[in-house]
Amino acid sequence: MSVTAQSITESDLRVFAFTRNTVLDGNRDHVFSHSPTAMIFLDKSLGDFGGVSLKGAGHRGQTGGASVQIRVRLGKHAGSAFMAGPFDNHSVSPDDNTRLGKANWIHASGALVISETDKSVNAGPDAMDSFVADQTESVMLSLVDEIADSLHDTTITANGVTPIDDLISNNDEVQTLSGANYANFNSRGVSARTTAAASISFASGSFAAQGISDLRTSYNNASEGTVQPNVGITTYANHERYEGALQPLERFQGAVRTADGSFQALAFRGTPVMADPKCASGAWYWLNVGPRGMEVIILNPHDFRFAPFKPGASQETFVSELQWKGQLIIHNRRYGCNKLTGITD
């Protein structure tokens, strides 16, 4: 009896692909969770960071498209008005208050490289699994770190994502929309709500003297009705300054059997406040993470995706490229997002 011919598409490299895919989930959890910002914006399959369920809240995929396009409503419909009665003429003017922002895709890459020598000295399924796990973790950690650094840059770097600090700004152009042209497309900082775009300030100063006051003002200025920040990201120094300001207010309730000199977690008006080692010195960011505020949009399917292994051109190596294609965007920088800069002791 004849047997149908079999076609193997993965060839000799299938052992690498199998071991890598077997260890990938565990490595994803480890490499993302050291940075709250990376956890919030870059991945969904993570454990909670500090008990705060924000994993992947600012992470969404898009299938197709030359760029990310954002519809930003910058005013109310002029046709909305009271009428003199049931037979009065209603408006027939179309709504023309939405403008289109655009953000270009950013491409980031890492490389998982295995040589013939690696294959020989790590012979055996257990050894190969351990080796590939170590290499996968190294590649992913490096690429996540690179993107997380870019998210917290204070200037736009070549080929990097648009940083959080740049998106929360005033009187400048973000995503092709200018705050100088559209007054409602400016973060408010700590200035009065009616302040002109060119005069808005985000500058704070001594936390001991004005920290709590500036937090109140910046939080209120980021709030509009039910649109409010859902997380605060800051430095470890600012996190400790805030904790120190709260410490005298700590109260004990019920039977206290364990002495504890600190809080388990910090919040401001119920909004979790987390320290990130990537955050710029002296900065404090109020973010509304999600579809009404700030998000990382991924160009599907390139969400930390390993491409198939391919042999090196003139070396005894096999390479699998780790691909990430996405961009950080903001839907309207006035509502839900704000920042403080220059915070000191």
Q: What is the pLDDT along the chain (345 residues), one digit of tens a residue?
A: 456 665 545 445 556 666 666 666 565 555 566 788 988 898 753 333 334 456 678 889 999 999 999 998 888 877 888 888 888 888 888 878 888 899 999 999 999 888 888 878 777 767 777 777 778 888 888 898 899 999 999 988 889 999 999 999 999 999 999 999 999 999 999 999 999 999 999 999 999 999 999 999 999 999 998 899 999 999 999 999 999 998 766 554 455 444 444 555 788 998 999 999 999 999 999 999 998 899 999 999 999 888 888 888 888 888 989 999 999 999 989 999 999 999 999
Residue 190, number of CB atoms within 10 A of its CB: 23
CA–CA separation, 101 and 329 (whole Å): 9
3 state DSSP class of 147: helix
CA–CA separation, 325 and 304 (whole Å): 8
Tokens, residue 178: 């200018």
Tokens, residue 66: 């030359």
Q: What is the number of alpha carbons within 13 Å of residue 107 lying toward its C-beta?
A: 3
Which residues, other chains included, contact 277 with Cβ-Cβ below 8 Å and sequence gap of 6+? Answer: 34, 35, 236
DSSP letter string, 20-84: HHHHHHHHHHHHHTT-HHHHHHH-SS---BTTB--TTTTEEEE-S-SSEEEEEE-S--TT----S
